[in-house]
A and B are shown apart, each in its own frame.
Chain A
Amino acid sequence: MAETLAQGPGAALAHDSALKHATGEALFIDDIPVPQNTLHLAVGSARAVCGRIESMDLGAVRGAPGVIDVFCANDIPGQNDVSPSGRGDEPVLADTDVRFDGEPVFAVVATSHRAARAAAVLGKVHIASEKPILTVDDALHHQRFISDEQLMQRGDWQDAMRSAPCAVSGTLYCGGQDHFYLEGQVSLAIPQEDGDMLVHCSTQHPSEIQQHLAKVLGKPANAITVEVRRMGGAFGGKESQACQWAALAAVAAQRNACPVKCRLDRDDDMRMTGKRHDFRIDWKVGHDADGRILAVDTTLASRCGCTLDLSDPVNDRAMFHVDNAYFFPTVRIRSQRCFTNTVSNTAFRGFGGPQGMLAGERMIEAVARATGQDPLTVRKRNFYGAKERSLTPYHMPVDDFILDELVTDLEASSHYWQRREAIHAANANNPQVLRGLALTPVKFGISFTASWFNQAGALVHIYRDGSIHLNHGGTEMGQGLFIKVAQVVANALAVPLEQVKITATSTAKVPNTSATAASSGADLNAMAALNAAGTLKRRLSAFAARHFAVDEGQIRFNDSSVHAGDTTLSFAKLVELAYLARVQLSATGFYRTPKIHYNRKTAKGRPFYYFAYGAAVSEVAVDSLTGESRVTAVDILHDAGRSLNPAIDLGQVEGGFIQGMGWLTSEELWWDDAGHLKTHAPSTYKIPTCSDRPRRMDIRLWSRGENTQATIHRSKAVGEPPFMLAISVHQALSDALSSINGYSTVPALDTPATAEALLFAIQAERKQASTTGAGAQS
């Protein structure tokens, strides 16, 4: 075992590109210098919501300045489909029907980005309009689903519900969310010899792009190379959603025999790409007088949009997370996947988990109000426990539960109870400003629920001067995956981090990779890279033992040096000797996650290798005259296991929290009655700004964190779990409003909790107060 370097796992190092980001040197795809003859592609749509395409008049498009080529569905050389589900329901360009406002119908290729866009709006697409299905309620009413209903159940929930001493029920609507990655979708396709295609694509899933492009171009996969050095944010929005634009660029490049770039304008990006699913959640909980849950029956219905995309696994994950940290003795979780004439919803950080968890936390809140207890008390009372209280609704035992200790720690460090008293006093003194507080935990399952995705490959070369070339199937979207994997490899070979060259992800180097998603990037790729580095180290050790005639046990790698018995030489020197002795200095690595299995039909199994945990306390204030609100303070304690890089992990925690806070407060997707999305730019769609960050945010990583499973250096995945810490904001806002009726009610506060949603919920609470005579409790 190599000694841990100051730059190895556990070191709080800056992102490998940090300084390049700050100086503008880091190249994003739109920054790559292009050949002179590069053309630019823009997408034309019908601007209709739903109906059959009757005819197209693209004369004005063809005649517009700078236009070189215009093409439609019929012009796609291979299959006109990029559906990640394999269902064949996602045409690159719509052929017969338009199913949502903004659906791509034709493509324009012109000499400049601006010329292409200006031409694209000149197309006239005549649609025989049909009445669209727009919302979950609409779809439920018409019984329109994109996929089969799924059920997850354990125990006799009906009987338990009937015999429970108390029951509460309700409905919660939670809104969707646009990814708003700062770098929009972009692909650059460059034709190669033999009709091959090199595509630079801002994507989390290069292998899938490669597979789809092969089908669309009618070529074998080995003719397509997809490469990505970095993305300007992704958050799930460049998993399946990047494909269409890569396909259009590739088709155009092939047709015109020149490089073609497709970069979506922000408005097009927001209209044409999928978002987080919005949900309608109906729930009922049976419980006892102490607030212990006895039975749960819930239906999660989501707006999937007009294609299947990733809606099945997203909705599955919502089902997997309704329980969050709580044991449900009996339970039924029903999931309905609604078809709507809106852009097909897709992966987004948490992948359905946040919506499921929001439902679970609302149930706890309701039980707390019904039993007159603080929600934190009820939360702790229902935590997963030892054996008899450890089974999830999908029959997987929770055997690594740490929330008892973690929440106790946070409860104390955040002065939860002292602040609870202070909130009561503040609300009694000032009924105009409503203050609220909430602590919510997170338990998030780690692994792709489709087990075959839990594999990864890596490729490591050592050159004769000892410098190392690192490549793996994971992609860098800002989450710090590359630096983490480099730290692991540098540590394994006991060389300085600078000696490890981080390189762009390429389908030509590591094939058949999974999406960098499900928080699994480091878990999978660092393991694969470690595996490759281990192979190289073993070869070097064996060679050194032979060369210096010592036992292999006497070979030690340490601080850029290799010790072979009494001999010490530099790593580079050993490498040169090994080369001369014809030792292979390149290795692939592979990893597959052990232990996991899941049967979707029976909804039973062990879909997750382990769970990641965390908890957050949010404090809020709400102006009851206007509904304006602010998050005033946040305390977070998060479990990243033995963190591979605490600086990167803290960044994920804070960034995830703020993004989650945006989802639950200011980020509202708003469609008009006809089905046109009206919030398709930052002028109308409001993600948090600097001043929305709470004045006080105390964030700690759980110092005792250690993965009970043999993950990479016992670390835990950290990309998605912190997003759900922000559910404490929704709970705190609801807590503030509940003060109006002496904490006896569950305010009708759907999300996002905009000023408008808050004001109307306040008025509903006040109305109830005036009818029941309940008053503010001090």
Chain B
Amino acid sequence: MATARPAFRCLLGDQEIALDAFDGQQTLLDFLRLNRGLTGTKEGCAEGDCGACTVLLGRSENNQLRYQPVNACIIPLGTVDSTQVLTVEHLADPQPHPVQIEMAKAHGSQCGFCTPGIVMSLAALHYACDTDNFSLDRETLNDALAGNLCRCTGYGPIITAAQQALAQPIPDHCRSLQALGIETLGKWANDDTYLQTKGVANIFAAPTRLAGLTELMRALPQAQLIAGATDVGLWITKQHQRFDHIIYLGQVAELKRIHRTDQEVQIGAAVTLAQSLEVLEDLAPDLGTLLHRFGSRQVRAQATLGGNIANGSPIGDLAPALIALGATLHLLGPNGERTMALEDFFIDYGNQDLATGEIIRMIGVPTQGHEYFHCWKVSKRFDQDISAVCGAFNLQLDNGTITSARIAFGGMAGTVQRARQCENALVGKSADCSALDPGAKALQQDFAPITDARASADYRMHTARGLLERYLRTISGKAPDLLYPASATPVLSAHG
């Protein structure tokens, strides 16, 4: 039985930090800059979009210490309890990390404000070279840097610096930090405690068991639940909300499991997008592509599948794909468990079918029946943007005829929604471009999108049709012409 521990603890570089009292709403960034004087980490946007505040979070995974880049600006300090935090200063002590040296040599910094964040993202990739198998091609680097905006360089010199640095071994002092991290985090893992601050007001709690969580939720019914806090973090930094209490879900063991049965993959609500990437990519390659465009590595390291759904965004990004795949939602509340089709969870804008005291326990995604599944997101920018429209299509075919359909869109209504009229219009048609007109016509009955900063209503409608056309062309054997960074090559690949 885990016992409550009132003091926050983490390993900051090689230094053990223990805090008896702390503000549960203080961000990791403010802690580093204001309390610890570590000003190398910058604030660029305070919403997790620019990456200037990127630091590394070391967490234990199978006796390894895995470092992931995260946006310190939106992470409540309490959520990094029992982890190791590395900043740009730690990498440079006692001598600069290869990434730091090569960034300087390759002219990878101009104004220098985004540079510490970029260094941290590349250092994370450098650490990952040890355990993961990947090539240092443009795709990997694009993905590693998608969460770091640079306004000066145009990125070319940063790519060069990355290629130079990542070919070099991890320096001794970084190995030592990692070794110390493994030792310390291992020691902490064995003491079976969980963080719960003292007092009656502003409690921050990070239970490690489901039983403990439900007990806390009963005791603190008004507590704000957070997982990755990639959205709730902004309620703090941008909307200046104050919560009475915060309960952090990210340490609850039962919510962090991925379980595969013959019928479905069950993903715990607190599994991060980064952790679910592999299994979902395996399930459907398009889902992997979509996930890679979801936020950035920093966001995916924190954000959870459960949080993405509970949040009820009308865009969702993952929700349309999961609905098209026929995902189910398992909820746990004071009155026990219930299960529902994911699409039924979204009632209306800002209104989800989640009762007081109820949490999402896990998401089940069927492993069969998505031979013809595809999904695409359309946004102003390819990486790290929120969709204007996201369309997900999953038809069942019999001999070229559509026998059933699951089609869902984000960005087309107040919630992520199935396109039921369109689905009905397609059933019975042959699976080729002849189905486009009736399908597209039905889409107009399904949706009446709005105009906002991301796109006009008109564009959303046209693009929904465009995606349907792309889908029908794809399943009728024509390779889709996707202008993705990897696939959009010039007409002459080499000069004559």
| Interface, chain A (partner B; CB < 8 A) | 14-15, 17-28, 30-31, 33, 112, 114, 117-118, 121, 179-184, 230-235, 265-267, 415, 418-419, 422-423, 425-426, 430, 432-433, 435, 477-480, 619, 621-623, 625-630, 632-633, 647-648, 650-651, 654-659, 666, 668, 670, 678-679, 681-684, 686-693, 695-697, 699, 754-756, 759-760, 763
Contact = CB atoms under 8 A, between A and B. Distances in A.
Interface of B: 30, 34, 37-47, 49-50, 52, 87-89, 91-92, 96, 99-101, 103-105, 107-116, 119, 138, 141-142, 145-146, 148-159, 238, 240, 378-386, 388, 452-456, 458-459, 462-463, 466-467, 469-470, 481-485, 488-492, 495-496
Given A623-B483, A625-B469, A689-B381, A24 B40 contact: yes
A654 B154 CA distance: 6
| Most B CB within 10 A of own CB, among A33, A114, A691, A692 | A691
A695 B483 CA distance: 12
Contacts of B111: 21, 181-183, 230-234, 477-478
Given A182-B151, A477-B111, A654-B153, A27 B488 contact: no
Contacts of A423: 491
B380 A666 contact: yes
Contact of A682 (B49, B108, B138): B49
Given A629-B483, A686-B380, A14 B155 contact: no
A633 B107 contact: no
A690 B141 contact: yes
Given A23-B100, A182-B44, 6 more contacts: A24-B40, A31-B39, A184-B44, A233-B111, A666-B380, A682-B45
Given A182-B52, A623-B481, A633-B490, A687 B87 contact: no
Given A182-B42, A415-B496, A478-B152, A430 B481 contact: yes
Contact of B152 (A233, A415, A621): A233
B112 A619 contact: no
Nearest to A27: B39
A292 to B, nearest CB: 30
Contacts of A619: 490-491
A182 B50 contact: yes
Given A419-B491, A478-B112, A180 B151 contact: yes
A388 B329 CA distance: 77
Contacts of B492: 415, 418-419, 422
B402 to A, nearest CB: 20
Contacts of B470: 625-626
6 closest A-B pairs by CB:
A24-B40, A478-B111, A232-B113, A21-B112, A658-B154, A625-B466
Contact of B113 (A117, A183, A621, A689): A183
Given A266-B46, A655-B153, A755-B380, A690 B159 contact: yes
B43 to A, nearest CB: 7
A22 B116 contact: yes
A18 B108 CA distance: 8
Nearest to A671: B453
A358 B492 CA distance: 27
A759 B42 CA distance: 38
Contacts of B109: 15, 17-18, 21-22, 478
Given A18-B103, A626-B463, A695-B489, A689 B455 contact: no
21 contacts: A14-B105, A17-B109, A18-B103, A24-B41, A179-B151, A182-B114, A230-B111, A232-B111, A233-B110, A233-B113, A267-B238, A622-B483, A623-B482, A630-B488, A655-B153, A688-B154, A690-B148, A691-B146, A691-B382, A754-B380, A755-B378
Nearest to A425: B491
A691 B110 contact: no
A18 B104 contact: yes
Contact of A678 (B43, B110, B453, B467): B453
A6 to B, nearest CB: 16
Contacts, number: 297
B97 to A, nearest CB: 8
A704 to B, nearest CB: 22
Given A23-B40, A415-B496, A755-B380, A266 B112 contact: no
A658 B381 CA distance: 14
Nearest to A232: B113
A706 B150 CA distance: 31
Contacts of B99: 22
Contacts of B456: 756
Nearest to B241: A118
Contacts of A621: 483, 488
Contacts of B149: 180, 182, 682, 687, 689
A693 B381 contact: no
Nearest to B27: A114
A235 B151 contact: yes
B159 A651 contact: no
A59 B44 CA distance: 31
B481 A690 contact: no
Given A27-B39, A670-B453, A693 B154 contact: yes
Given A17-B112, A19-B100, A22-B119, A689 B89 contact: no
Contact of B156 (A26, A687, A697): A697
B110 A480 contact: yes
Contacts of B384: 689
Nearest to A420: B491
A432 B466 CA distance: 11
A655 B154 contact: yes
Nearest to A680: B453
B214 to A, nearest CB: 33
A630 B112 contact: no
Nearest to B38: A24
Contacts of A31: 39
Contacts of A686: 379-381, 385
A112 B484 CA distance: 44
Given A619-B490, A625-B469, A759-B459, A695 B138 contact: yes
A33 B112 contact: no
B47 A266 contact: yes
Nearest to A426: B491
Contacts of A632: 488-491
| Most A CB within 10 A of own CB, among B113, B154, B158, B380 | B154
Given A118-B240, A755-B388, A691 B383 contact: yes
Nearest to B146: A689
A668 to B, nearest CB: 7
B151 A181 contact: yes
Contacts of A232: 42, 111-114
Nearest to A422: B491
A446 B44 CA distance: 32
A693 B145 CA distance: 12
Contacts of A20: 112
Contacts of A433: 481, 483
A647 B455 CA distance: 39
B382 A654 contact: no
B240 A756 contact: no
B155 A183 contact: no
A418 B492 CA distance: 9
A26 B42 CA distance: 11
A754 B467 CA distance: 17
A25 B455 CA distance: 41
Given A625-B467, A682-B47, A435 B491 contact: yes
A161 B100 CA distance: 60
Nearest to B478: A432
Contact of B155 (A23, A234, A425, A658): A658
B96 A759 contact: no
A113 to B, nearest CB: 8
Nearest to A233: B111
Contact of A681 (B47, B157, B454): B47
Contacts of B381: 666, 686, 688-689, 692
A182 B113 contact: yes
Nearest to A20: B112
A622 B378 CA distance: 13
